Amino acid sequence: MYRNMNGSTHVLSAAEIAVPAIPEDERVWVPQAEGVWFRPLMLNTLAGQWCNLLRVRRSGVLSRHLHPNPVHGYVIKGRWHYLEHDWVAETGSYVFEPPGEIHTLVVPEECPEMITFFNITGSMIYLDSDDRHTGYEDVFSKIDMCREHYESVGLGADYLDRFIR
């Protein structure tokens, strides 16, 4: 049981507790940029936290960004790295991103698809090459993106409600 945004309580059903991470229905993946999608798993409006899968089917730089809070990731498929580090996150890798660190996510040319689970609290702040703020994402912007997408693909805006905590 949990208390939702309007203060009422909700008992989670089995379908809300255990969901298939990789959905059969492609419409569940929310487009984020060209060749980049995310699949919401949990959107916690009370803690400002979200868990999602990031799927990338293109190579190159995805974004330069920072998080004010720690981020945890687990690579399910493929590989990626940060320009600012000499390590590569590959299938089976756990990644910890310390708060405040600026990093530039890159998917290498030889990787046709990357899928990584991310657990993020707070926000994701996008930066340009001079460290100027160019945009952000948080649990509420993710909710807005999902609702708009699910409505447009016929799942209905309320399809997202199953992921909100």
Distance CA 61, CA 111 (A): 13
Query: pLDDT (tens digit, 9 = 90+) per residue, 57-82?
Result: 999 999 999 999 999 999 999 999 99
Instruction: Look up residue 18 and give its DSSP letter.
Output: S
Query: pLDDT (tens digit, 9 = 90+) per residue, 51-60?
Result: 999 999 999 9
> What is the number of other CB atoms lying within 10 angstroms of the CB of residue 114?
25
Q: What is the pLDDT of residue 8?
A: 63
Q: Is the pLDDT of residue 5 over 60?
A: no
Mean pLDDT (the chain) is 92
Coil/strand/helix, residue 142:
helix
- Assigned architecture for domain 28-163: Sandwich (2.60)
Which phi and psi angles does 152 have, rounded to 5°? -70, -25
**Phi-psi group of 7: left, alpha or beta (phi > 0 → left; psi -120 to 50 → alpha; rest → beta):** left
C-beta of residue 160 within 8 angstroms of C-beta of residue 143: yes
Domain boundaries, given as residue ranges, for the chain: 28-163
Confidence tier at 134 by pLDDT (50, 70, 90): very high
